Amino acid sequence: MSIEQTREILSHEELSDADIVHLLGLTDPEECELLRKTAYDRTTELMGSFVYYRGLIEFSNICTASCRYCGIRRENHDVERYTMSKEEIVAAAKWAADQGYGSICLQSGERRDEKYIAFVESCLEAIHEATVSEKLPDGVGVTLSLGEQTIETYRRLAKASGNPSNLRYLARFETSNPELFKVLHGARGDHEKELQNRFRMLRDLREAGYQVGTGVMIGIPGQSLEDLCRDIRTFQQFDVDMIGMGPYLMSEGGELQEYGQMEPKALLQLALNMIAVTRLVLGPVNIAAATALQAIRDDGRELGVSYGANVVMPNLSPQQYREGYQLYDNKPCLDDEPTQCASCLENRLRPIGRSVGWNMSGSSRRWLRRNGRPDEAVPEGLRTKTLEGRRIIPIAAGKVA
């Protein structure tokens, strides 16, 4: 197709499956730029110009699962296992709240034992107590990414968070193709994955009151553009509130090295196209620019934002633990302090016309509207000179090279 035909597709009010497959497969720089600008403008129209921080705390790499692609899978005996103390976790969360982050993300390897659940519950209660302030009257918001649990556990943790209007759970299903899913999760054990269980998890999370997040890996060996189209339709089917997805990257700690991975430049463009098309199809949802994008190219996360993402996740984990939480090889920012990561990201977002939504929950507008809540108001003064001493400088969007 010519650029005129691509422009015509992008003018459609609704995209057909054929339209989606075409847009996902774009490689011509001029057509990719047209897709980027369309998705960027749609994001601004639907979501505003803010990017929201979710301060990432990777509090434990102990895992009972054997996902074949993952660097902290149970069978990887070369990784040094750790669990942060409750005091360390709460300190990281309070630091985030004090710095103006509207929310944090608690992520760990997958466990279901009572000792673990009670520990997370206790941490959530302490985080809420420590972060209630004039700026955050309900405390810092929380996203949980703890793998498959029971609906009773979801409800228990939701109650402990103390902040039901700013509570999220990320449960990626990785691919909607059952055969590819088996490749990723082919190992057998008590806690191994079934695709239908992942889908049930999304329904359970909605019932338990969470803003529901999911996502996929892009560029899995053997994955087709039609597979990615079905993934987007699955997001629609479950009416999800937020999406976290990134490129498939190999891990020496996994067992899929024989499959290889896509050439980096092509993989990056496919991942960016997926972000853009997902924005065009899903509309007012939160989409994260995955850190894995930066593993391919230094400005990968900024490119993700320019293609329609509106969430980034600066790493707040103490430095001594970061090397032990590498789900894929060459993970970036292992040596950065939290202050470096946040300020660096803010400076890199400004040239693409985005500002950080300090002290804002950044809740999914789809979720707000579904639950009869007004869109989050912009705090007075946020678009002006300062906010609690921070300069916020809206800049017109420009082309990203």
Break the chain down into helix, strand, coil percent, rounded to 5.
45, 15, 45
Q: Are 208 and 158 within 8 A, CB to CB? A: yes
CB half-sphere exposure, 196, CA atoms < 13 A: 0
How far is it, in rounded angstroms, from Cα 373 to Cα 384? 26
Q: For the purposes of burial, counting CB atoms within 10 Å of the CB of 277, is it exposed (0-12), middle (13-18) or buried (19 or more)?
A: buried
Q: Are 391 and 346 within 8 A, CB to CB? A: no
- Tracing tokens 């040239």 back to the chain, one arrives at 351
Residue 51 to residues 58, 238, 269: CA-CA distances in angstroms? 21, 24, 21
How far is it, in rounded angstroms, from Cα 157 to Cα 257? 36
* Binding site per annotation, positions for [4Fe-4S] cluster: 63, 67, 70
Q: Are 34 and 71 within 8 A, CB to CB? A: no
* Binding site per annotation, positions: 63, 67, 70
- Size of the chain in residues: 401
Q: What are phi and psi of 244, to 5 degrees?
A: -125, 110
Pull the structure tokens for residue 293: 């994008």
Q: Are 102 and 362 within 8 A, CB to CB? A: yes
- Among 258, 306, 287, residue whose Cα is nearest residue 364: 287
Q: How many of the other CB atoms lie within 10 Å of CB of 166?
A: 22
